[in-house]
Chain A
């Protein structure tokens, strides 16, 4: 079954404590992306990756890092989380060059206190 798996689903952490949200896909998609969803703001892109070792900033990259060492994995790293990064995060994948739209993970609800 085609899947985008995010972990964890829920996370409460304290300001400044480094964390990683994992994203893994089994569809061999080249393109992967991270979005955050906030009330009234919709989904905003944080980072994206066109392929292995190729990453680029989206619209709201400040405070986040990513890496793409393998095609299937695209972790989101918060080196020093702050309360304004409390949000719902989605990983999305897409086969490059084919406008079929994204396949989304189930989301990670992050609370930073």
Chain B
């Protein structure tokens, strides 16, 4: 069965530090991969997505993610975190175009 694992429940970083949020998926073929961000009290906003082609994808707010087929991973990165990046981040995999399976989320806390 398809699944998504986000191993880190909670991450704390200092403002200006680099960030990497981990995401591993289980799926037999190349999936559609997404990262969403949820700010407190808000809905989910799409950060970036991967369908095919270049395995390094750029998203909004300075985020990027790299698809590594050999590791079944799609980690989210940002070179320098801002206080406004504090939020919960969800990785999602789409085995087809009409359904997404979400990970359990990683809560990011940013210290000044």
Contacts of B42 in A (CB 8 A): 106-107
- Chain A residue at minimum C-beta to C-beta distance from B52: A99
Number of residue pairs spanning A and B whose beta carbons lie under 8 angstroms apart:
56
User: Which chain B residues (43-95) contact chain A, with CB distance < 8 Å?
Assistant: 43-46, 49, 51, 90, 92, 94
Which of A42, A96, A106 makes the CB contact (< 8 A) with B102? A42
Interface bits A33-54 vs B (CB < 8 Å: 1, else 0):
1010000111111001010000
Which of B9, B43, B90, B97 makes the CB contact (< 8 A) with A106? B43
Quick check: is A105 within 8 A (CB to CB) of the other chain? yes
Main secondary structure on chain B at its contact with chain A? strand
- Bound Cα distance from A50 to B98, whole angstroms: 8
Q: Known contacts A40-B104, A99-B51; is A45 also within 8 Å of B99 by CB?
A: yes
Which of B32, B49, B90, B97 makes the CB contact (< 8 A) with A42? B90
Quick check: is B100 within 8 A (CB to CB) of the other chain? yes
Contacts of B25 in A (CB 8 A): none
Contacts of B94 in A (CB 8 A): 99, 101
Interface size class of A (residues with CB under 8 A): 20 to 34
* Contact yes or no, A90 B51, CB < 8 A: no
Interface bits B19-42 vs A (CB < 8 Å: 1, else 0):
000000000000010101000001
By a beta-carbon cutoff of 8 Å, the part of chain B in contact with chain A is 9, 32, 34, 36, 42-46, 49, 51, 90, 92, 94, 97-100, 102-105
